[in-house]
Structure 1
C-alpha cells in the first residue's frame, strides 16, 4: 500500500501578541495575519514599513489530526511526515516528540513517525525561529560578507529577495509554504527516480537510476515503461539502488518554441505499490562556452528571453492559472527562454510543467545572488543537500537546458572590492567552481553547467569581457544613455533593462496619495532602486520632453523604457549569429512597483511588453548607423525587395531606393544605405522608413524634442463590439508613439497594441477588451490616448 494524507486543515498560528490565529496551509505568517485583519496589505502605500517585526518574531503553527489504521487491515508498515517546504528554521514535533529540525526553505524533509501516531487525535506543531535571529547569529559567528543591502540573506538558505531588493519589499516570511502530509506505505517506496534522457540518431535512450527505501528484506522488482518499451530490475536483500535502461526507436524530438513541436512521452516507474509517472521529452542540448551558443537538437538557437523572479512575495498565492497567464505573456511576446534568477526560488512543478508543455527553455540558477556567501558549515552541507534534491527533481525536464551557479557573485568578487572586505574569508567560489559542477556532473550529465553570470568562461578572465561567455549590461540604466548599447558587441547578454512605473491602474490601486505626483510619498515608496526616481528622469535625456505633470511622467517614462529595451534588443539581434542571446531584465514583478518589468505586479502589460513583442518578432528590420539589418529567425528564407525611403515629417517623399534581399534561415542580412538616403538635409524635419514584406522600421534623424513634428491631427471612431471596442485612428499628420491606456477607465481593460507611429494618411485599429461600458469620448481623449506630438485641448 501507498497512500498520502494531506495535513492542510485546522491550523492555527501564534507568535508575538497573537495567539490562535486561523492559518491557511500552504501559506505564510503574512497572509494569515492579513486574512485575520491583523495587518494591512503590505503591498499598499507604505504598510510594508510597519511589518518588519514579523521577520523578527518566532512563530508556531499547530494542528490536530485524526489517525487510525484502515478498518480490518493491519495498517501500513511505515508512516512518514512529509514536509515539501518549510520556511525556514523550524522544529517539528508530533505529539510533543521532536521529529525534524530544518534550516533550508529550498529543501523538502521526511521523518518516520510510525511509532508516534496514536488512534484518535494527534498534535503536530511547527515552531519557526525568526529568520533574522538565525541569520544574524551566523553572520556574527562567521564574519560579515559583502552584499548589496544591509540584510543578512546570505546567512540563511531562504528566498533572498524576501529581505528586499531593488524591485521588491522587505517582507521576511515564515510558514508552511508547500504541501505537508503523511505518507503511509508498506514494503517499498521509490525514494528517488532520476531519468536521464538522451538521443542518438532517431533512438531515444532513458537511463533511470532509482533508489528505494524498504521495510523488509524481500526481493523487490522495479519496472519502467515508456512508449511500449519496458525494463525490469530486481533488487535483492539489502540492495537499494539500480539502473533501468530503455531504448525508444523513432522518437519525436522536443523543440523550443518557434523551432518545432513539444512531444512528450509518459514514463512510469513502479516498485511494489509505489508508482512514479512523468512526461519526458527527448532532445539534445549543447553549449559552446566561448560563444555561449545554445544548440538544441543540433540547431543553434537565438535565445529571446526574460529573467524570471518570484511572481509574488508570498509564493503560496501563485496558482497554476496565474503561472499559465504569466508564462503565456512571455511566449506571446516572442520569448523562448525564461531564466529562473538566483535570488528567488526553485520554481513550482506547475511552472516547469508549463515550460515543458509550451516549449519554453529554462535557464535555472542555483540560489545565490549578488553577495558573498559563506562556505562554512552548516551552509556547505545545506547547499549540497539542496542542490542534490533540486537536480534530481528537475533532471527529466526537457525544458531545462542550463544550470548556472550564481547571479553576479563572480562579478562582485572581481569588480566590487570584495577581496579587501572579505580579508580571506570564503565567498562562494568553492560552490560555483567545485561543489555544484560536481553535483551536476554526477546527477545530470545530460545538460551543461555554467559557474555564474556574468562569466567569461574562466576564473582568470574578466567577467565583463563581452567577446566570450555572458555579460550583464547595467551601466545603461545606472549612468549612461541607452544608445550606449551600440558600444557593446556581446556574445550573449543575460541581463539588461530599463525602469518604468507600473500601469496606471496598478499604481492607483497601490498608492492612495492625493494628489498623486511623481514625487508623492507612496510613489517614492514603490521605487526601491537606489536613486531610481532621478535615474528615470535622467534617462529621458534628450529623447523626450521633460514631463509637465504626473500624466506626462507616466507616459514618457513608460515610453522611454520601451524604447531603451527595444534599442538594445535590436542591437543584439542585428549581431546574429555572432551574438546568440538576449535575456531582458525582467518579465514580471512580485508586487506593485516601479521596476524593469514588462508585466507589472498586477499582471498588466506595460508598454514595454508591446515593444519587446515587436523586437522579438521572428522577422525583424532594424536601422542603425546607415545600415538596415534584416533578422530572419525562421526556418524559411526571407526574400523580397527592401524599400527604403527618406521622408519629410509632413509625409513628402524625399528619396527612395529598392534593393532585392535574401536572408537565409536563422541568419541576418545587412544592407548599407547610400548617402542619399542615410544623410538628411534637415535632420529635425526628416525620417527614414525601411520596409520588407510586412515588416517596417522607422528612424527619426533627431530626438523627439528636436523634431519639427506637426501638431498631431487625426480622426477617431469607436466601435462597440462583443467583449469591448475597436478604436480606429486615422492620421492626418504624423502621429508619434500612439498609445491608448484604457485601464485608466476600467482597471481590467486591455489593448492589443501600444506605441504605434503612423505616417500621414495611415490608419490603425486598436482592440480594447473591456466588460464595462466605456465612454467613447474619454477613450480617445487625454490622458487615455497619448502621442508625443499631441495637442492638448
Structure 2
C-alpha cells in the first residue's frame, strides 16, 4: 500500500529583504505576515490599499525535512494547490514550474531524496507580473475591471471586485506532502452513479514501469469495487478500466425538500503481487437533467424549483476556510430554505469538504468553471492549463450527487454580445472556444451524468441574445443599478441566476472593521461604483431618508431585505413558468457593504431572515390586487384563507374567508374582493392574509406615505439557559420590528427579525449569548427598533 506524509511543518517565508518569518502551510503570504506582526489586518480600515505591494512582490517558502528509505519504488511530491506562479527545487535541483492556482501537481522525487535532511524550496513570482507579461504578449482583452485577472489561472476576485478587496495572494494554499508507492497506484477514480442503481467506476492506474520502460505493461493487477454489498472485480493489464456495478432498488439521493439524502460508501482496491492501493468515497444514486427550453432542473424525474444563492470564496485567504466554517455557512443556507448553491465563476473550485457537506445537506451545486466578467485568451499556455484543470476537477467532483450542473462561465457571453467587447477585441480570442467546445467536450467525456450550460446568462444558442428573460438563465441588474425594486414585477423570467440588492454588514462587523469614531456610512468598505448613492436612491419612496448613522444602518439593511424578498416572491409566484431564483449572494469574504445575506464575519443580516420567509416551503404573497399561494411541498395545501383589512389601530375594517386548495408544487391565485383590494384610506390601513402558519402583511401605501403612530411597546426579558427570551407586545402597530443584540455582544444571535405586529399582538425573540446583557438596553433603541420608532 502507498503511504503519505504531509509536509506542513517547519516552513519559513522570505521576501526580497531576506527577513524570514514562520510560515503556515497550507496558507499564504498575507496570513504569514499578519501572524508575524509585520502587517496590519488587510480587512480593517483602508489597509487593503496600503498592502497592495504584497501581490507585486516575490516570495520564497523553504522547509527542511528528514527522510530515510521506506522500501517503496517511487516517492512523489504531491502539491494539491500552489498559488500561483511557482518554481520548486529539492536539494537544489529544479523540479518544475507552475502557473495555475486551480491545478494540482505531482513531481517524482525519489531520485533526489537524501537519507537525512532534505531542503524543499518553493519560490513564488508575482501573479501580477506574470499576468501583465501575458497580456503584453497576447494583446489586451476587455474586462469588467481594469485588472489582468484573465491572463493568469487564478481566482479572479483576488484582484478586487465590487464586493471584494484587491489582495493578490501567493502561497502553498492546499496540502503538500510526499506519497510513496510501489508497482502501481490509483491515479484517478471516477464513479458515475445513476438512479437505476448502476454505477460505473472509471479507474486510471499509474505504474512505476511507465517511468523506466515507457510502456504500461507490468505485473498483472486486480481491481475491485464494492458498494452496498455489491462487488465487481477485473483483471487489469493496462492503465485504465471500468467496473460496472448494479445495486438493486437503491435509496435515492434527493435535494432537500424532495426526499432523503441517501449516501453509500464505495470502495475501490488495486492489488497485486507486491502491494496495491485503495480509495474510498461516498456516492449517491440519482439522475439530474436540464430541460433547456425552459431551463428547468429535474432530479430523479421530478422538476425542482430552485431556491438558490450564489457563493463566493468565503475568505480571500482560503486556507482559513475550515470544514467547520463551511458547515456553518452552508448550514445558514439550509436554514434559510435554500436548496441550491451556485459556485460562482470568479472564485475557485471549492474543497472536498464543501461538496461532501452539500451531499449531506441536500444542497444542489451549480458549478461554474472559473471564468468571470472578462474576455479570456485561448492561446497557449492557457488552453492547456484550462484543459488540465477542467479534467482534474470534473473527475474529482463526479462522485458527488449534489453536483447538478456544470456552467462554462459567468457573464462572458453577455459581455461579448452586449458590453461592446466584440469591437474592442479586433478578432482576438475571447473564450468562446472554451465555453462552446473544450469544456462541454470534457464534461461529455468524463461526466455524462450531468448537464452542461455554456454560461450565465445564456439563452440556449449562440445566436440568441444571452440575457433574454424568456429563455435560459437571466441576470437582473437594472434593479440596484438604476431601477426601483418594484421593477421585478415587470419581469416574467424563466430562471433568474443573479439578482440582488446591497445592504451594510451587521453593526458588530462594521465596528470591528473600522476604527472611525463615530461610525458613519463611509466607515463601511464600499467597493461598488456609486454604492453609497445607490443605497440611498434605493430607499425611494419606500422608506424615510436616514438622518443618523443608526437610521442609515437599519433602513438600508431593511431595504435590502425588502427588495430581494419582493423579487423572490414575484418569481416564485410565476411557478412553473419560472423555475428558479439564485440570489446574489449568500456570503462575503471580508467585512463590506454588499449584496450578501451573511456578512464577512458570518453574521446574519436582516436579508437572511427575509430570505427564510421568502424561501419558505409555503408562501403567501400579495401583489396587484391578488393573493398568490405558493406550495413547494409534495402535499396539497388546503384550508381557509383569512383576508382582513385592518386600521393601523388594529381594528378590522373588512374580512373575507376563502376556501383554497393548492396542489403540490403549484401556485394558486385568489383575487382580492373589492372591499379588501381598495382601502378607505391607504395611509391608515393595511391587509393581513393568513393560511395556517403562513402570514403576509401588506400596506396599501409606501411607508413614507403611511400615517404610523409613534411606536409604543411593552417588553419583558427572561434569562434562559442559552441566553435571553425577549417578549415584545405591541401597544401601537410595529412595522418591521428588529432586534440587534450584536450591538451589546458581538457574539449574540437572534432567531428572528423584521416582524410586523398589530396592537395587542406579541412576538418572542430568542437571543443566544454567553454574556450578561443589560435587559433595559436589550429592549431599547437602537437595539430594538422598527420603522415607526
- Is the structural similarity TM-score above 0.5? yes
Distance 1:713 1:86 in 2: 59
Deviations along 1:665-722, whole A, 9 cap, x unmatched? 1111111112221111211111111111111111101111110112211111111111
Distance 1:464 1:132 in 2: 32
Matches within 5 A, 1:406-421: 406-421=409-424
Deviations along 1:161-201, whole A, 9 cap, x unmatched? 1000000000000000000000000111001111111123x
Matches within 5 A, 1:108-127: 108-127=104-123
Cα distance change of structure 1 residues 18 and 656 upon mapping to structure 2, 3 Å threshold:
farther
Distance 1:347 1:650 in 2: 52
3-state DSSP of counterpart to 2:282:
strand
Q: Does 1:758 align with 2:751?
A: no
Tell me the residue number matched to 2:498. 495
Tell me the residue number matched to 2:400. 397
3-state DSSP of counterpart to 1:477:
helix
Distance 2:652 2:771 in 1: 44
- 1:100 shift after superposition: 2.0
Tell me the residue number matched to 1:552. 551
Tell me the residue number matched to 1:605. 604
Distance 2:491 2:259 in 1: 31
Deviations along 1:296-327, whole A, 9 cap, x unmatched? 01111110011000000000000111110000
Tell me the residue number matched to 1:44. 44
Q: Does 1:133 align with 2:129?
A: yes
- 1:234 shift after superposition: 1.1
Tell me the residue number matched to 2:369. 366
Matches within 5 A, 1:561-580: 561-580=560-579
Matches within 5 A, 1:207-218: 207-216=200-209, 217-218=218-219
Match of 2:513 among 484, 491, 510: 510
Tell me the residue number matched to 1:355. 358
3-state DSSP of counterpart to 2:612:
helix
Distance 2:129 2:143 in 1: 18
3-state DSSP of counterpart to 1:165:
coil
Matches within 5 A, 1:579-658: 579-658=578-657
Distance 1:740 1:395 in 2: 44
3-state DSSP of counterpart to 1:736:
strand
Distance 2:678 2:460 in 1: 42
Distance 2:222 2:719 in 1: 66
Q: Does 1:346 align with 2:353?
A: no
Distance 1:570 1:598 in 2: 17
Runs of 4+ in 1 over 6 A off after TM superposition: none
Distance 1:770 1:179 in 2: 36
Distance 2:264 2:788 in 1: 55
Distance 1:761 1:545 in 2: 26
Distance 1:172 1:34 in 2: 15
Distance 2:246 2:518 in 1: 68
Tell me the residue number matched to 2:301. 298
Which stretch of structure 1 is more off in the superposition, 376-385 or 94-103? 94-103
Tell me the residue number matched to 1:536. 535
Q: Does 1:205 align with 2:198?
A: yes
Distance 1:207 1:645 in 2: 58
Matches within 5 A, 1:308-347: 308-347=311-350
3-state DSSP of counterpart to 2:470:
coil
3-state DSSP of counterpart to 1:577:
coil
Distance 2:239 2:49 in 1: 52
Tell me the residue number matched to 1:53. 53
Matches within 5 A, 1:466-477: 466-477=469-480
Distance 1:632 1:199 in 2: 26
Distance 2:411 2:50 in 1: 31
Gaps of 5+ in 2: 210-217
Tell me the residue number matched to 2:212. none
Which stretch of structure 1 is more off in the superposition, 611-620 or 647-656? 647-656
Matches within 5 A, 1:440-451: 440-451=443-454
3-state DSSP of counterpart to 2:19:
strand
Gaps of 5+ in 1: none
Distance 2:432 2:496 in 1: 22
- 1:598 shift after superposition: 0.3
Give RMSD over aligned pairs: 0.8
Tell me the residue number matched to 1:432. 435
Distance 1:173 1:702 in 2: 50
Distance 2:414 2:358 in 1: 29
Which stretch of structure 1 is more off in the superposition, 766-775 or 208-217? 208-217
Tell me the residue number matched to 1:690. 689
3-state DSSP of counterpart to 2:51:
helix
Matches within 5 A, 1:19-34: 19-34=19-34
Distance 1:275 1:665 in 2: 45
Tell me the residue number matched to 2:729. 730
Tell me the residue number matched to 1:718. 717
- 1:487 shift after superposition: 0.7
Distance 1:7 1:482 in 2: 52
Distance 2:31 2:435 in 1: 35
Deviations along 1:214-271, whole A, 9 cap, x unmatched? 12411111111111111112122xx111111111101000000111111111111111
Tell me the residue number matched to 1:143. 139
Distance 2:422 2:123 in 1: 38
Tell me the residue number matched to 1:196. 192
Tell me the residue number matched to 1:95. 91
Distance 2:507 2:74 in 1: 56
Distance 2:625 2:705 in 1: 20
Matches within 5 A, 1:181-192: 181-192=177-188
Aligned length: 777
- 1:18 shift after superposition: 4.5
Deviations along 1:381-403, whole A, 9 cap, x unmatched? 10011100000000110000000
Distance 2:239 2:19 in 1: 45
3-state DSSP of counterpart to 2:676:
helix
Tell me the residue number matched to 1:235. 236
Distance 1:400 1:370 in 2: 23
Tell me the residue number matched to 1:76. 72
Tell me the residue number matched to 1:380. 383
